[in-house]
Amino acid sequence: MKNIQSNIKKAKNYLDKSHCVAVPTETVYGLAGNAYSDTAVKKIFNLKRRPANNPLIVHYYNLKKISEDCEINDNFIKLYKKFSPGPITYILKLKKNSKISKFVTNNKKTVAIRFPKHPLFRKLLKNLKYPVAAPSANISSRLSAVKAADVKDEFGNKIKFILNGGVCKIGVESTILNITNKPRLLRYGGLSVSKIKKTLNQKIIININSKDKISPGLFPLHYSPGLPLRMNAKKNKKNEAFVLLKKRENISKDIYYLSKTRNLNEAARNLYSVLRKIKKDKYKSIAVEKIPNEGIGKTINDRLKRASNFK
């Protein structure tokens, strides 16, 4: 407990001075900085080598502070009550007098906001006087980090501090929903679209490949282990790693599995770690068996599809 307090204090001290620190969330690790500080936000973009036109998600402790920064509406309240804190990001209209750095939104009139659930990150947010901009803690277009060691792999000693909160429970990024108008899904994620639909009782427009570049995180190549990857494979070729949904008895050395029992939530949680391990084991290509396209399986398939654009 004492350790937790002192780590949170350390993270707060760095953030107060506009430095970046890595933070655990229930989805993936984030690379955090003061969302009101241009200096901090620019550091995030530099460290990640992220294109300036790819806006960041801003993280809040609760509802209290957001009304200073963005316009809330009925759909937001319905979803917030049901799913926040949790793996859903809302796109809302930015208020003119908001203090959010213009680098966060790339001068857009909208902002992405989320209320993360991880208890350590929540404790930290509660202690801060500003919200925190935090994209995933990985170099742009690569795999997200789901434990402190992954963050270290990505950035080495370039970041000041990692608030270690263990392994992320969900393991894939948040679901992004634009609710400035009719609800539009911009990214599949940790919360299934069917649950959102049920709560809003409205049609959700699926807009995940929008060509208007409103959400550049949706660029075709993303979430890549840096190796060619093919989906829906029946078997693997020589020297190709083979990823299965469910563990088999006689496992050969080339076989990796995402879950013990065909559980899609477990598979999502293990996805990035398995792909990282394959890369570390020096394979040159990856085959993945067919993953059912239901619930969080849709998110897994979305990530695999984007990773498969690596040539």
Q: Using CB under 5 A as the criterion, which residues of the chain lie in contact with Mg ion when the complex forms?
A: 136
Secondary structure of residue 21 in the 3-state scheme: strand
**Nearest to Mg ion of 84, 136 (CB atom):** 136
**Nearest to ligand AMP of 179, 258 (CB atom):** 179
The interface region with ligand AMP, picked from 33-41, 61-69, 208-216, 301-309 by CB under 6 A, is: 208-216
Window 53-72: contact mask with ligand AMP (x via CB under 6 A)? -xxxx---------------
Least distance from Mg ion to the Cβ atom of residue 137, Å? 9
120 contacts which partner out of Mg ion, ligand AMP, none, CB within 5 to 8 A by kind? Answer: none
The interface region with ligand AMP, picked from 18-26, 214-222, 248-256, 269-277 by CB under 6 A, is: 214-222
**Nearest to Mg ion of 136, 273 (CB atom):** 136
CA dist., res. 18 & res. 31, Å (int): 12
Least distance from ligand AMP to the Cβ atom of residue 219, Å? 8
How many other CB atoms sit within 10 Å of the CB of residue 260? Answer: 11
- What strands lie across the sheet with 255-259, from one edge to the other? 229-230, 286-288, 241-246, 255-259
Least distance from ligand AMP to the Cβ atom of residue 172, Å? 10
How many other CB atoms sit within 10 Å of the CB of residue 257? Answer: 19
210 binds ligand AMP (CB under 6 A): no
Least distance from Mg ion to the Cβ atom of residue 176, Å? 11
Among 73, 160, 216, 255, which residue sits at the site for ligand AMP (rule: CB under 6 A)?
216
Least distance from ligand AMP to the Cβ atom of residue 76, Å? 14
Q: Which helix (H) or strand (E) holds 302?
A: helix 297-307
Cα 21 off chain centre by: 16
Least distance from ligand AMP to the Cβ atom of residue 89, Å? 6
Q: Do the beta carbons of residue 179 and residue 91 sit within 8 Å? A: yes
- Which string of b and e fits 218-246 if b means at least 16 CB within 10 Å? beeebbbbebbbebebeebeeebbbbbbe
CA dist., res. 299 & res. 310, Å (int): 18
Look-up of token digits 């919360």: 191
Q: Which of residues 247-306 bind ligand AMP (CB under 6 A)?
A: none
Alpha-carbon distance values, 240 to 181, 255, 282, 287 (Å) = 45, 9, 10, 7
The token pair at 246 is 């469910």
Q: Which of residues 87-146 bind ligand AMP (CB under 6 A)?
A: 91, 105, 108, 110-112, 135-136
**Nearest to ligand AMP of 37, 105 (CB atom):** 105
Window 154-183: contact mask with ligand AMP (x via CB under 6 A)? -------------------x--x-------
Residue type present at position 127: N
Q: Which residues contact ligand AMP by CB under 6 A?
A: 54-57, 91, 105, 108, 110-112, 135-136, 173, 176, 186-187, 214-218
